[in-house]
Amino acid sequence: MASKKRLSSDERRALILTAAIAVFGAKGYVGTTTDDIARAADVSQPYVVRLFGTKEQLFLAALDETLRLLFEAFERGAGAGLDDEIEARMGHEYIGLLTVRGLHQTLSHAFLLGSHPVIGPRARDGFARVWAYLRDLGFPAERAQAFLAQGMMLNTMIGLRLADAAEVDPRITDLFAACFPTEKATVLALAPRVDEPW
Amino acid sequence: MASKKRLSSDERRALILTAAIAVFGAKGYVGTTTDDIARAADVSQPYVVRLFGTKEQLFLAALDETLRLLFEAFERGAGAGLDDEIEARMGHEYIGLLTVRGLHQTLSHAFLLGSHPVIGPRARDGFARVWAYLRDLGFPAERAQAFLAQGMMLNTMIGLRLADAAEVDPRITDLFAACFPTEKATVLALAPRVDEPW
DNA sequence: GTCTATAAGACGATAGAC
DNA sequence: GTCTATCGTCTTATAGAC
């Protein structure tokens, strides 16, 4: 059993944030305990609280990091080309974010916290920034709208953990084929499964 | 102060179920206490547990009722006409369900509980039934997919409580106009607001 | 049909040591 | 930088009365 290394505060924070996105994504803001995250990051529960102040601040940090990774991915996808090409590349990047465990679901959970006095405003601002980003990129309103809607659909299918069902339930096979005409295999390969705790 | 009437078990169950959809929608499965629902329904907390067994079973009952109302609305919207007409009517009915407090958000929360051992399977089945309903109605896969995606988008905007922001934030005004070209006024009139507890 | 009282457990946060 | 111990609170569910 390897003994644990003493890390710098920043390194430890980064590890805990990664764990937080995974666990918050799987169990939601309220459903996640600071101890869940501590165990996922292999540190003690009080230390998580010590580093981030409160569970609420930890969630805000996880949301910020999630949005940072999202815009980073969008930046990679944006660039020269026709609208169709840009949209395809950005969709591809968004699917690629499935390698960040819990990212899509952390977004979904944040977007359901609209009535939370502290998290709600931050979540609304994040969503509005995504919208503004697409529009500033030159997406016409209707296209931006459809692109976002597809993203919410992917989030939902991930949150439902529908991927295993795609292999046994013909309805779900049909659904995946319709949603991801070109990237079905990638999505099925990267999507979290029912039996994964996170 | 009006004294409370003694109701039949079925009447009381129906009242509690309505309250449960509203509160679960606003605060989520884990974030809602049985006491929250009891107070919203004006009964004692142990009585809620008595009538529904456990909080988990109560959530399942609320989800069932939510899906029942959803299919009932779809049935009203379906019927004769071109695909475009049917889709417009069904979208209209789905927006009309905003009069049922918490319905869209209860769906969203259920759809994020994919890793829950009991609720997860029921949520997946509900989603698959919605998909199958659209396909059986004759929707081509691509159209059914886009329709569902728009629904997820509406759910997200409701969960975020974006409606107030539409009146002050130009980004959000633009977003609402793009998402609801014909029904923006209805959505804004029916959407829950930030300051509503549920 | 409905309530009050309460047991039993889980959780966030603090204190303080190393 | 990181841990152990622990307090106080909240929450589900049960017991039992009316």
Tens-place pLDDT, residues A103-125: 999 999 999 999 999 999 999 99
Q: What is the pLDDT of residues A129-181, one digit of tens each?
A: 999 999 999 999 999 999 999 999 999 999 999 999 999 999 999 999 999 99
**Mean pLDDT to the nearest integer, A37-61:** 98
pTM of the full structure: 0.97
To the nearest 10°, the Cα dihedral for A86, A91, A94, A96?
Answer: -100
Contact yes or no for B161 and A128 at CB 8 A: no
pLDDT over 80 at A4, yes or no: no
Section B76-82 average pLDDT: 94
Average pLDDT over residues B65-69: 98
> Does A125 touch chain B if contact means CB atoms closer than 8 Å?
no
Q: What is the 3-state secondary structure (H, E, C) of chain B?
A: CCCCCCCCHHHHHHHHHHHHHHHHHHHHHHHCCHHHHHHHHCCCHHHHHHHHCCHHHHHHHHHHHHHHHHHHHHHHHCCCCCHHHHHHHHHHHHHHHHHCCCHHHHHHHHHCCCCCCCHHHHHHHHHHHHHHHHHHCCCCHHHHHHHHHHHHHHHHHHHCCCCHHHHCCHHHHHHHHHHCCCCHHHHHHHCCCCCCCC
A118 touches chain B (CB under 8 A): no
Enter the tokens of residue B108.
């969203």
Distance from CA of B139 to the nearest CA of A (A): 12
Give chain A positions within 8 Å (CB) of B150. Answer: 149
**pLDDT given at position A2:** 64
Q: What's the pLDDT at B5?
A: 86
Q: Does A27 touch chain B (CB under 8 A)?
A: yes
Would you place residue B34 in the very low, low, confident or very high pLDDT band (cuts 50, 70, 90)?
very high
For residue A120, give the nearest of B120, B161, B169 by CB distance. Answer: B161
pLDDT the model gives residue A51: 98
pLDDT recorded at residue A3:
67
Q: CA-CA distances (angstroms) from residue A107 to A112, A123, A130, B152, B174?
A: 9, 8, 12, 13, 22
| Reported confidence tier of residue B3, pLDDT bands at 50, 70, 90 | low
Token pair of B4 as six digits? 């409370």
Mean pLDDT, to the nearest integer, of A7-36?
Answer: 98
Q: What is the band of B4 on the pLDDT scale with cuts at 50, 70, 90? A: confident
Average pLDDT of the residues of chain B: 97
Closest chain A residue to the Cα of B150, Cα to Cα: A149
Among all strands, which nt has the closest C1' to A13 (CA)? D1
- Judge: B153–A155 Cβ closer than 8 Å, yes or no: no
Q: What is the mean pLDDT of residues A31-49?
A: 98
pLDDT of B198 reads: 83
Work out the average pLDDT over A68-89: 96
- Average pLDDT taken over every residue of chain A: 97
Closest in A123, A160, A194 to B127, CB measured:
A160
